[in-house]
A and B are shown apart, each in its own frame.
Chain A
């Protein structure tokens, strides 16, 4: 119950829908039970008593009962659904908002698939429970209660005899339930495995083909596929065993009804019409009991779903406590690191140790080092994707904490290592950071990133809609769009994290030349593997294991003969070789 209490804020505002739905349900159930009663009355008091003048009134009564029921069913269902979907509408918006503001740290450990299943499956389970599940519990109580009342009124002994199967039915339902739910869980798990198998096969298809392992893959897939089939067959066996049994138990009570009810009728203690009504009423009780397991299970499932949703809602949002700056034009873009350290997780080793540097306005800082040396970590602190563990970072002389994340990031144009483009037009992808920018500015930026030409060659030019993750573009093209996207921000601080790794050298040279213009007056950070990309930097920081092991200009570093020199030599040995040849 705790779970539902905590989710109250989402559904409680719409409680009136729920109340209306329940009131209507009361009428529905009442009218349902009334139908066999009218039938009984027709047989016993109109036909057998030969009061045929009553017939038209009874027919009218039927129409009235059904009309009332029809109307009530409409209200019950519509308002019940409305209760669920309105709640879920609000819940979805809240969840989405939450996701927007969770810190990077959260996403490092979160799996997209898991989040998606919460946002779709769990939300849906919760909705279904609100729309349908709650009312089912009430329906069960009402229908069973009403029917039993009428039955007892007709004949106490017959009721007792007919309902003698109920305990057996209840046991069967319970047993069935115990077996069927693990079965369904098995199916879900097996499906997940099958899904993973196919997904892996498809995304690794080039590798599969490269090593011609198709047959092996088929074998592996067949195993998962067989398992999935088997799980289904297992459960159908459970169904096949229990469902007919439950039906048989219900039917047995009909047989008792026929034998004992017939006996009572012949005895004269029961009217034939009452006997007929019993046949309907008994199913109003047996039916819901057969469904009872389903209802209970739905309740426990929605509770579990609610908990998973609360887990997201309970996550702590990223810290963003500063006051907005009044005049963003005053932003200069000076970055100072003072003994900054960073540790990602409690267990992991520190990613950065005692990093200090100064980047004054308009300066370019190059960052060099092997994968995992901490280059990316530095820029992730400038953008406050992560919070430093110790030390101080100053922007324009103020502690970085004094800027709101929005203000800070609006001043920073960052090209991330892994290019991500959205399913949107190229134009909107370019203008992602500044949706209101003019077309001229967009084209201008695209030209600088050497992207204009290939964009124009596409069938719809800037209006070309990109598929999932930029499907249809090459790696280099995607990177160039990402670069243009950063330029459009007109940032005071520009960050390029290995931004040109997928473009060929000639294009890179073009882009770099254009960059030099763009970088004019901005503080720039360049992370690169190729020495040629960083050699013009005002200061180059060479990182190793999270520490700065060398710093200086290209010339200074070459002369000092350290790690930088070594990398340079490797990359340049070819050049010397070529020069010898020529």
Chain B
């Protein structure tokens, strides 16, 4: 990594390995997606394909051997016209078959692609937070979109063409042998040559294109980052340095491209020469066979036609092989995601709670994200329905883990969590989750109207219910002031809404969802003081009549909680009301004091 001359300024890892060696079991799994169509679309498609191929293979016989030898040379006009009509009939037949072949072939492929993408997306929805925390959004996106799309060619054209080309090659070989075994044997020496070119040489070409793609993706990563980070670059006056770096990446890309394109161009003369070998054999040996009267001119002509038909299927077989290798790499990445287990499985006989009150009990709960590190130990807690509970502690003390256990984003490694007296693991997951909602520090705004964004909490809410929720929270005023009111279009990166307004929207969302249990995870941390004042009222409304658990830094939000729980290194240190804890002068007292020491600057 470190070079004597100059360090590389940026590092980009290309996650995308473009192709993988062939792997049977994965192949089988991949083609499992073809199953629903194996007895419906697939046989029809293959049938249509066989017709098209048969016609293509048959026509040169009619034109060559039959028409020339039997009609043209003897001068039989009637027979000639008969042949012409037959050929016409064959072509019409193949035309119809071809229409359906293309249509069905694409249907199979597109349905499979659709199925794979749906399976992948649906599966991802069920994965844990940790899954999303561990990777960038971009890398997930690439799998759902690009990796799935990269198999499009394989499924739409690849598979059917593979069959078609094999049938065609075999058909031609059989016909050639029937027409003239001697000439066939000699002519067919071009086949191994063509195969050799198509595989060996192609492999080299493929590799060099891979280098190009890797370098290009590095270049694109840098481009993307340099645009996003342009403000930092300009603030630190690093424009020239970045240009040097880019020139380096660009040059690398140029060089690899030059190499690949040369390899690619060399390929062509080889193809021409292999055809030349066939043509020479045909002319030289074929002519001498005619001289010996072993074959007719018509056979010679048919051979000439077939010779011209060799390269296409062979070259396409090479392409399908390429598509397969690309498909291997993509499908491996897709399966990797599909094999990712949702962290919490639902029991088959899961119970459904008719009405949730909102009592939560932690019984001797222990939790570890991995073996070495216990995030929670010996947690015994009771949250009464309707109470507001505050969790206090440093980063890593286990606050977030506790709330994550409450909606079963994870299961405890020991002990149990109970809702209204029932172990969470016995409950239906969707019911549990719809009773527990979160308000997060960052409000994510989905592209759509304000109305849609509030309604995100409960998609079947009427417009009036949405407006009522906004009014209750105190968001109505600013919404109606916007140009489009509730129908104002907003988006995540847009600047229509301020931070405080976004937070109010998320409160309205949560109120509309009306969960029995509400969790506020640092919900007011990124808001300035004045805005915080403005949303206080809304927050109070939101907390009323439900069990609320909040994680907060600011003492002003914690103070009024029914119960404050102080955590340290995964253990409960203290619990009680603000007054009680202040009086006992324990950890909470010290925490408060140190925070104010920070404020008043004595520390």
Cβ contact within 8 Å between B10 and A422: yes
**Which residues of B lie under 8 Å from residue A102 when comparing CB positions?**
230
Residue of B126, B276, B280, B526 near A214 (CB, 8 A) is: B126
Residue B25 at the chain A interface, CB threshold 8 Å: no
Question: A28: shortest Cβ distance to chain B, in Å?
Answer: 9
Could you tell me the distance between the alpha carbons of A205 and B409 in the complex, rounded to whole angstroms? 13
Which residues of A are found within 8 Å of B88, using beta-carbon distances?
252, 255
Decide yes or no whether A456 CB sits under 8 A from chain B: no
B9 contacts which chain A residues (CB < 8 A)? 424, 428, 435
* Complex alpha-carbon distance, A362 and B496, angstroms: 38
B353 contacts partner chain A, Cβ-Cβ < 8 Å: no
User: Looking across the interface, which residue of chain A has its beta carbon closest to that of B121?
Assistant: A221
What distance in Å separates the Cβ of B482 from its nearest Cβ neighbour in chain A?
15
A247 sits at the interface (CB 8 A): yes
User: Are B440 and A216 within 8 A (Cβ)?
Assistant: no
> B436-467: which residues lie under 8 A (CB-CB) from chain A?
436-440, 442-444, 446-447, 456-457, 459
Determine if A578 is an interface residue (Cβ-Cβ < 8 Å).
yes
- A570-B533 contact, Cβ under 8 Å, with A424-B11, A474-B395: yes
* B288 interface residue (CB < 8 Å to A): yes
Q: How far is the CA of A252 from the CA of B433 in the complex (A)?
A: 66
- Partner among B67, B227, B266, B436 whose Cβ is within 8 Å of the Cβ of A112: B227
Name B572-603 residues within 8 Å CB distance of A: 578-579, 582-583, 589, 592-601, 603
Question: Bound complex: CA of A217 vs CA of B444, how far in Å?
Answer: 14
Known: A244-B99, A258-B87, A416-B232. A578 touches B592 (CB 8 A): yes
**Could you tell me if B103 and A236 are in contact, using CB atoms closer than 8 angstroms?**
yes
B228 near A112: Cβ-Cβ < 8 Å: yes
Let me know if B247 is at the binding interface, CB within 8 A.
yes
Q: Within A197-248, which residues are at the interface with B (CB < 8 Å)?
A: 198-218, 221-222, 225-226, 228-229, 232-233, 236-237, 239-241, 243-245, 247-248
Segment with Cβ contacts to A, from B28-36, B234-242, B354-362: B234-242
Determine which residue in B111, B132, B233, B283 has the highest number of CB atoms from chain A within 10 A of its CB, and name it: B283
Contacts of A195 in B (CB 8 A): 141, 145
Contact of B528 among A213, A370, A504 (CB under 8 A): A370
Question: How distant is the Cα of A530 from the Cα of B526 in the complex, in angstroms?
Answer: 11
B-contact 0/1 string along A11-51, CB 8 Å cutoff: 00000000000000000000000010011001100111010
- Which residues from B are CB-within-8-Å of A509? 597-598, 601, 603
Which one of B106, B136, B529, B583 lies within 8 Å of A581 (CB-CB)? B583
Q: Is the CB of B238 within 8 A of A432?
A: yes
A167 smallest CB distance to B (angstroms): 19
CA distance A102 to B227 in the complex (A): 11
Q: Is the CB of A529 within 8 A of B528?
A: yes
Provide the residues of chain A in CB contact with B409, threshold 8 Å.
209
| Nearest A residue to B149, CB-CB | A191
* Contacting pair B145 A198 (CB below 8 A): yes
User: CB distance A465 to B11 under 8 Å?
Assistant: yes
Residues of A within 8 A of B555 (CB): 574, 578
**Contact: A67 with B444, CB < 8 Å?**
no
Contact bitstring A109-127, B, C-beta under 8 A = 1, else 0: 0101001100110000000
Q: Which of B81, B241, B433 sits near A259, CB closer than 8 Å?
A: B81
Task: Tell me whether B444 and A74 are in contact (CB under 8 A).
Answer: no
Find chain B residues with CB under 8 A from A435 CB: 9, 238, 241
Q: How far is the CB of A381 from chain B (nearest CB, A)?
A: 13
Is B478 interfacial (CB-CB < 8 Å)? no
* Contact in complex: B444, A236 (CB < 8 Å): no
Asked whether, in the complex, the Cβ of B529 is within 8 Å of the Cβ of A571, the reply is yes
Nearest residue (CB) in A for B291 is A52
- In the complex, the answer to whether B272 meets A73 with C-beta atoms within 8 Å is yes
Q: Within residues 4 to 23 of chain B, which ones have a CB less than 8 A from any CB in chain A?
A: 7, 9-13
Residues of B within 8 A of A119 (CB): 220, 223
Chain A proximity of B127: nearest CB distance (Å): 9
Stretch of B251-259, B381-389, B542-550 lying at the A interface: B251-259
Q: B117 contacts the other chain (Cβ, under 8 Å)?
A: yes
CB-CB contacts of B241-281 with A at 8 A, as 1s and 0s?
A: 11100110011011001100110111011101101100110
Are B102's CB and A506's CB within 8 A?
A: no
| A371 interface contact, C-beta 8 A | yes
Centre residue among B141, B251, B308, B434 by max chain A CB count within 10 A: B141
A232's contact among B110, B234, B238, by CB below 8 Å, is which? B110
18 interchain pairs, CB-CB under 8 A: A46-B287, A52-B291, A55-B288, A104-B234, A116-B220, A212-B434, A229-B110, A229-B114, A240-B103, A254-B87, A255-B87, A258-B87, A259-B84, A265-B72, A409-B235, A420-B228, A476-B395, A574-B556
Additional A-B contacts beyond A42-B287, A66-B272, A66-B276 (13; CB < 8 A): A115-B227, A119-B220, A194-B145, A195-B141, A210-B519, A211-B456, A241-B99, A409-B236, A423-B225, A428-B9, A504-B395, A505-B595, A581-B583
